Structure 1
Amino acid sequence: MPKKRNTDILSSPDAPNMFTGEAPLESAHKVWAKVDKELIYALGPNVHRSWTGRLSVSDACAFSVNLTAPTRFIASKIETQYFDDVQRLWAKHDVVAPPRQITISRPVSHMTPSASSLKNRQPGKALASHRPPALGASKIDASENTQPKATTTRYRTKASFERSDREMALNNTAVSDTPFGDTGASAFDGTARARMGESPRQRFTFDNFVVGAPNEFAFAVARQIASLDEPQYNPVVLHGANGIGKTHLLYAVQNAVEASDPTRRVKLISSEKFVNAFVSSVRGGGRDEIEAFKSSLRDVDVLIIDDAHFIADKPGSQEELLHTLISLVGEGRQVLIAADRHPDLIEKASDRLKSYLCSGLVCKISAADYELRLRILDRLIARRRETANATLAIPQNARDHLAARINATPRDLEGAFNQVVAQSELLGTPITLETIQETLSDSRYSKGMRLTVDKIQRAVAEEFGIALNDMTSKRRARDIARPRQVAMYLCKKLTKRSLPDIGRRFGGRDHTTVMHAVKRVDSLRAEDSVFNSRVSAVETTLKG
């Protein structure tokens, strides 16, 4: 082997080699051409073609050389498995003594060069701020200003996937801002926010989320995810019916993480975009496009996927989802997923995917109860007063009726609220219990509304002036026992629940107690007209 020639260490890092007269970048390209050929034999043609063969020299000085990979995923793979081979072969051919240190730059997807830096950049030269560190620096250049070498390709790149995310976000600006939003549009980038104003998704925060017994556990888990750098539970799955708040929590996590630590990379993607991007990358037929898709999902600190149950319906996309989860969880990166059912109940999901989804933490968001719906309604009223109608007035009995009748989801509750408020504001009529009943009489909100034991207990307690917890207490005083019997009677008459089930909901009483209550109320209604009118009034209210 010819003896290496020394470079004057005291000279400028950008000065030509004093023996060869070559500039550092020029000599680096020549050395890399030799190393590139030897890597084919050292690693094999398939490995080289997929990984190390995709490196290129982007910058060099007398002490170091920067190699750039097209994606962060490829850079990470080379760093962990093939870096020693690259460095060894470089040292064999480098004309500089000691051999220059190799660094591999990872493209940073969420950063773009400023306008001034692009203006001042000279063709054919790397940005000055992108020069790799001196000898002894780490082999991965983690500087947030590092940019990949500009290339022209017929395939979609990772940046094109991200542009699609932003474009889709712009197309979803008209989505309504529900307290429990449940669609999967991407959040705006900073430029779009400034140009088009605040996105409704930006209002999906923890502060705007109405917490109650059905969702308090999921809320606490989401808050923990947003506050911790290292995952404590991974992956986390939120599941529940559509319209109950899953997507609100997903965006709340994204907004909280981005606000507290802008350097953490967060990606929120819907199942539709996941499947479309995957299919597009496969149909493109190129390795670059497939790797770009994988990198767009795996080069993040927090990955959030909405409506993941739809991905499980597509075998190919399901397999890619599984590999993505394994990769991210294995590297200690947080994964948060929302679905409309428990992972075990996703019919077309493989056993392996079900097992992996259940290996972390599964949180159910239950249907909103009366108390939570009433809180959501109060929040809707307050927001309307702040933004559009400061004099909006809805009497308490009208609020109670809305919260009791619209018992499907919080999204349905907001739809009914908007219908009532719009008719009042446009026609100039006051909002009362009667106008609400009339407004919603022909709507979907007045159909199929199932009466519950909870609603019946509440209505009877209000009519007879007792506390709600008296319905399930052990007290036997007549002024407590008689309303309790009325509630049991109405539960038997207006619902399809069995006698044992009704008894359990009244403090664990026996079914014979419910049978006695039904007979006693029937008898009293025939004997006492006043008592009969009070029971009839409660029944009429419950029937709406």
Structure 2
Amino acid sequence: MASPDSSLEAQRELWKRVRARLKTAVGEDVFASWFARLELEELVDDMVHLSAPTRFLCSWVQSNYADRIVEAFRHDVPEAARLQVTLRVNGQARPRLAPAAEAASETSAPTEIAATPAAASPASSAMVQAAPRLVRDSAKAGDALSGSAIDPRMTFDSFVAGSANEMAFGVAKQIASAAINNAVTFNPVYMHSTVGLGKSHLLNAIAHAVAEADPTKNIVYLTADHFMYHFITAVQRQSALGFKEWLRRVDLLLIDDMQFLQGKSATEFGHTLGTLLTGAKQVVVAADAPPRDLEMLDERVRSRLSGGLVVPISTFDIDLRRAIVQRRSEQATARFGMHFPPAVLDYVARAVVSHGRDLDGAVNRLVAANQLTGELITVPLAEKTLADLIRARDAKRVRIEDILKIVSRHYKVPRNELLSARRSRDVVRPRQIAMYLAKALTSRSLPEIGRRFGGRDHTTVLHSVRKVEQMIKDDLELGQEIELFTRMR
């Protein structure tokens, strides 16, 4: 791949345009933190090569922003597919190693991340192992054909399952097991959901599981844009027959982001799908919409996809979001030794409601904030750091009934117990906290609050408020819990 003009000036202009797009996409603060010190070194084949002044920045950008950066380049360089960030020492980037050298060196530049949706997690470099070699054939004219890069972090073990995705998770594991045993179960399998809910993770996990169990399997994982790139290149180089034969010899074909397939490439996919299904070869497809909504595909192809197993993935509920945040925080704790209080985990799970990738990104941001500033991970830090990830919510008047519901659920104390005359510790403390919140978050007077809490007088409420204020000073974790309550209204 080369820029439209190979001159240094053209490369500078390209980088200016890409930086402008990134700044618009992520905002001034995020851009200044992670992108401002990056420099474009070269464009080689489908690789974007950037440099950064510190190893931490290299690793952070590679792990968390590869997709976004490559996407910004694609406006000018459509074939851009991968990103490599290397360390810049004394103003010069470390030379980019040839593929063979990269494979042989444990100290080579950071792992290349394909421009496909990836679940960014604060995994250590030791956890990022070389991906299995999944494609071994070549096209006619000696042009190497390869699938999209596999993210080594996306395995079944790292996938967090819940009610929204448990069917897709189970199907993916069954596909992998069948493929390992030279069998085909459901075929084709079509997974669909909105962005960031785990489709790419499951496709990567299937590829990993099968390749590790049987290295002789011919497995191809392709994003739709990579499929189009291969097909168009093959046509231009008059090696289309080699491309078709390469695809039709696979044992397992995984196509991601099907919604981006267009033109003759979509037609070619239809032919390939028919051939593979006739030969009982496993095909797994992922997209952001059901097959019937993929209008760029021929009606016959949509029908074949619909006739297989169609598996939707739903929006994550609060329990699954909490489980994802918990898993990512445990990974960060194992690597950095930092502490994520339960109140912070609860806050992130409730506040970041968009998709799983944002949950991963939220934990990554808290890790970075802690590492760069030394500030403890608290709810206020999370609120400040994650402001742009949190969906704006209409301000609403807080009711005492809302407070009773939240406190009752959190401490697992029935609402009627909070209003009763019981004096056991497991009831008194939640009741005092609820009274404190009622005073802090509503405009009700002390007598009014007392009446709502089982007919207590105003002195009881005042005692509870002062008691909780003192407990907050003495107990940091309780303070964070109460800070969380104030944001759950």
Give the TM-score band, short-chain normalised. 0.5 to 0.7
**Conserved 8 A contact 2:332-2:367:** no
Q: Deviations over 1:396-417 (max 9, x none)?
A: 1111001100111111112122
The code of the aligned residue for 2:303 comes to S
Please state how far the C-alpha of 1:386 moved relative to its aligned partner.
Answer: 2.3
* Aligned residue runs from structure 1 range 234-253, under 5 A: 234-253=187-206
In 1: Cα distance, 2:352 partner to 2:204 partner: 25
TM-score by length of 1: 0.50
Tell me, yes or no, if structure 1 residue 403 matches structure 2 residue 323.
Answer: no
Instruction: Find the residue that maps to 2:253 and give its secondary structure.
Output: strand
Tell me, yes or no, if structure 1 residue 357 matches structure 2 residue 277.
Answer: no
* Aligned residue runs from structure 1 range 51-450, under 5 A: 171-172=112-113, 178=120, 187=131, 189=133, 201-228=151-178, 229-284=182-237, 286=238, 289-311=239-261, 314-387=262-335, 389-390=336-337, 392-441=338-387, 444-448=388-392
* Aligned residue runs from structure 1 range 33-52, under 5 A: none
**Conserved 8 A contact 1:239-1:339:** yes
Please state how far the C-alpha of 1:433 moved relative to its aligned partner.
Answer: 1.4
Please state how far the C-alpha of 1:379 moved relative to its aligned partner.
Answer: 1.1
TM-score by length of 2: 0.55
Tell me, yes or no, if structure 1 residue 529 matches structure 2 residue 449.
Answer: yes
For residues 188 and 460 of structure 1, do their structure 2 counterparts lie closer, same or farther at Cα, with a shift above 3 Å needed? farther
Please state how far the C-alpha of 1:461 moved relative to its aligned partner.
Answer: 3.9
**Conserved 8 A contact 1:180-1:243:** no
For residues 361 and 266 of structure 1, do their structure 2 counterparts lie closer, same or farther at Cα, with a shift above 3 Å needed? same
The code of the aligned residue for 2:354 comes to A
For residues 449 and 338 of structure 1, do their structure 2 counterparts lie closer, same or farther at Cα, with a shift above 3 Å needed? farther
In 2: Cα distance, 1:243 partner to 1:303 partner: 21
The code of the aligned residue for 2:327 comes to R
In 2: Cα distance, 1:320 partner to 1:180 partner: 39
Map of 1:16 onto structure 2: none
Q: Deviations over 1:42-73 (max 9, x none)?
A: xxxxxxxxxxxxxxxxxxxxxxxxxxxxxxxx
The code of the aligned residue for 1:394 comes to F
**Conserved 8 A contact 1:329-1:335:** yes
In 2: Cα distance, 1:463 partner to 1:269 partner: 48
In 1: Cα distance, 2:188 partner to 2:403 partner: 42
The code of the aligned residue for 2:272 comes to T
Please state how far the C-alpha of 1:437 moved relative to its aligned partner.
Answer: 1.6
Q: Which has the larger radius of gyration?
A: 1
In 2: Cα distance, 1:457 partner to 1:263 partner: 62
**Conserved 8 A contact 2:168-2:312:** yes
The code of the aligned residue for 1:251 comes to N
Instruction: Find the residue that maps to 1:448 and give its secondary structure.
Output: coil
Map of 2:407 onto structure 1: 463
In 2: Cα distance, 1:187 partner to 1:278 partner: 24
Instruction: Find the residue that maps to 2:186 and give its secondary structure.
Output: coil
Q: Which segments of 5 or more consecutive residues in structure 1 lack a partner in the other structure?
A: 1-162, 192-198, 471-476, 483-521
For residues 449 and 276 of structure 1, do their structure 2 counterparts lie closer, same or farther at Cα, with a shift above 3 Å needed? farther
**Conserved 8 A contact 1:407-1:449:** no
Please state how far the C-alpha of 1:347 moved relative to its aligned partner.
Answer: 3.2
Q: Deviations over 1:1-58 (max 9, x none)?
A: xxxxxxxxxxxxxxxxxxxxxxxxxxxxxxxxxxxxxxxxxxxxxxxxxxxxxxxxxx
Please state how far the C-alpha of 1:540 moved relative to its aligned partner.
Answer: 4.1
The code of the aligned residue for 1:172 comes to I
**Conserved 8 A contact 1:243-1:409:** yes
Q: Deviations over 1:226-257 (max 9, x none)?
A: 00121111000111111111111111100100
Please state how far the C-alpha of 1:458 moved relative to its aligned partner.
Answer: 10
Instruction: Find the residue that maps to 2:151 and give its secondary structure.
Output: helix
Please state how far the C-alpha of 1:319 moved relative to its aligned partner.
Answer: 1.2
- Computed over aligned residues only, the root mean square deviation of the Cα atoms, in angstroms, reads 4.1
The code of the aligned residue for 1:240 comes to S
Please state how far the C-alpha of 1:529 moved relative to its aligned partner.
Answer: 2.4
Map of 1:488 onto structure 2: none
The code of the aligned residue for 1:439 comes to T
Map of 1:74 onto structure 2: none
Higher mean Cα deviation, 206-215 or 170-179?
170-179
**Conserved 8 A contact 1:243-1:410:** yes
In 2: Cα distance, 1:304 partner to 1:419 partner: 31
Instruction: Find the residue that maps to 1:528 and give its secondary structure.
Output: helix
Q: Which segments of 5 or more consecutive residues in structure 2 lack a partner in the other structure?
A: 1-98, 104-109, 124-129, 136-148, 421-441, 454-460, 465-481
* Identity within the alignment, %: 31
In 1: Cα distance, 2:268 partner to 2:162 partner: 36
**Conserved 8 A contact 1:466-1:480:** no
In 2: Cα distance, 1:272 partner to 1:348 partner: 14
In 2: Cα distance, 1:190 partner to 1:323 partner: 22
